[in-house]
Structure 1
Amino acid sequence: MLSKEKLARINELAKKKKTSTLTSLELKEQKLLHQEYLEAFRGGMRHHIEGMKVVDPEGNDVTPEKLKKIQKEKGLHGR
């Protein structure tokens, strides 16, 4: 995840954009911070999903084969 300082800066730029206009440098900075935030979010989400094990109501493992393959490559769930 992003540092508290970067998150604060993202919020600061967003607030400024709502109340006035951003300079070209601030727009570039905002775009870069936004991209960095999305990369961090997607990475965290990917990590979370790759660690999942899907089980049906009867207790059978119904994890999709594609996910099982990824988990095996990463040594997760003893696969």
Structure 2
Amino acid sequence: MEAIEAGVHVVADKPFAPNAQAARTAAGIIASAQGNYAGFYTGFARAVRGAGPGPVPAADGIRTLVLDAARRSAVENAVIAL
């Protein structure tokens, strides 16, 4: 519990990066599966060249910005401009 309060997530007694995606369950915090970074960057390169859509829809990016701002607002007890 102390590690979680300090901002360090623990899974099976091993810490992982606090910025890693995680899901909270009744059993605790569980790290998400490893991402497909090669596929992401391949898709990104295609999108930059105009040969296909971006690997992440813009709406997902906006949702992430809003969620990050909400978390930061709660931590800092401040209004966060988007």
Q: TM-score range by the shorter chain?
A: 0.3 to 0.5
- More helix as a share of residues: 1
Normalising by structure 1, report the TM-score.
0.36
Normalising by structure 2, report the TM-score.
0.35
Higher normalized contact order (CA 8 Å, seq sep 6+, divided by chain length): 1
